[in-house]
Amino acid sequence: MRPVIGVISDVKTINGQNTHGVTEKYIYAVARGAQAMPVLIPGTISAVDAAMAPERVVIEEILDLVDGIFLPGSPSNVGPQHYGDLPHDPPLPADPHRDDISLPLIKAALERGVPLFGVCRGFQEMNVALGGTLFQKLYQQPGRFDHREDSSLDLDGQYAPAHDVALAPGGLLASLAGADRWRVNSLHGQGVAQLAPAVEIEAQAEDGTIEAFRVPNTPGFNIAIQWHPEWRFWEDKLSSGVFTAFGTAARLYGEARRGAPKLKAAV
């Protein structure tokens, strides 16, 4: 039986209606790369009738259903109010429905030991959920590269390797890569300003931008990666290795948790 991986959905308004979904490349990477069953987790569900309250989400109920949580990338950004900053004028793309689910879910998953893997926006969500902050426009910071993709290129060009990262000696990524440096793609406009406390850097770009971290001293597998390992993961040793490790951790967690009763706490 394949492990069940909950994949956090984006919430977008299409033709006047809220739509919950995930770009297929992330679903495919979870299904094939992690050898798991991806199940989409919606963001906050709004009340259709003004007389009704929004749907209450019970984080522990979600964690009772899955063997792992995957936080995919997105064109939207974590709301700056979650890390004590003010929005830009004009505001940058946001997704408060996703924030409402992902931020408490991250903390609960880490506490319980549910395997957790965040990519791009998911990386940034993990940093914010744990007490870190973000540069809303990383490319405007002195000494930082422009880590955004070139929108004039096709997808293969946008997702092509763009710069090296130094992998932390003895870290998870270095062990999977069998190397101390790796060439990665780069498609992000935001980045870590202040790293959350009690986390360990796994990878860093030459301009000082933190590109991956892990939360040690927690009971389960976890990794946060700023670049996009889901893109053609089968062509890259490190990308395929991290999805395989995530799937293995989820499988072992699922085998261990079967039948264990859980308490439920609403948020």
Cα separation values, 133 from 86, 113, 129, 155, 156, Å: 12, 24, 9, 29, 31
- The label of the residue with tokens 């860093």 reads 204
Rounded-to-integer distance, Cα 233 and Cα 29, Å: 7
Tell me if residue 163 is catalytic: no
Tell me if residue 61 is catalytic: no
- The label of the residue with tokens 């009738």 reads 49
Are 126 and 188 in contact by the 8 Å Cβ rule? The answer is: no
Q: What would the DSSP string read from start to end of 55-103?
A: PP-BHHHHHHH-SEEEE---SSB--GGGGT-PPPSSPPPB-HHHHHHHH
Rounded-to-integer distance, Cα 77 and Cα 40, Å: 19
Q: Which of 97, 120, 147, 188 is labelled catalytic?
A: 120
Three-class DSSP category at 247: helix
Angle at Cα 144 formed by Cα 142 and Cα 150, nearest 5°? 125
Are 127 and 212 in contact by the 8 Å Cβ rule? The answer is: no
Nearest to 192 by CA among 213, 174, 172: 213
Q: Which of 97, 147, 188, 228 is labelled catalytic?
A: 228
Helical residues (DSSP H) of the chain, grouped into ranges: 24-28, 59-65, 96-112, 121-129, 155-158, 172-177, 237-257
Tell me if residue 120 is catalytic: yes
Q: Which of 125, 149, 202, 230 is labelled catalytic?
A: 230
Which positions are catalytic?
Answer: 120, 228, 230
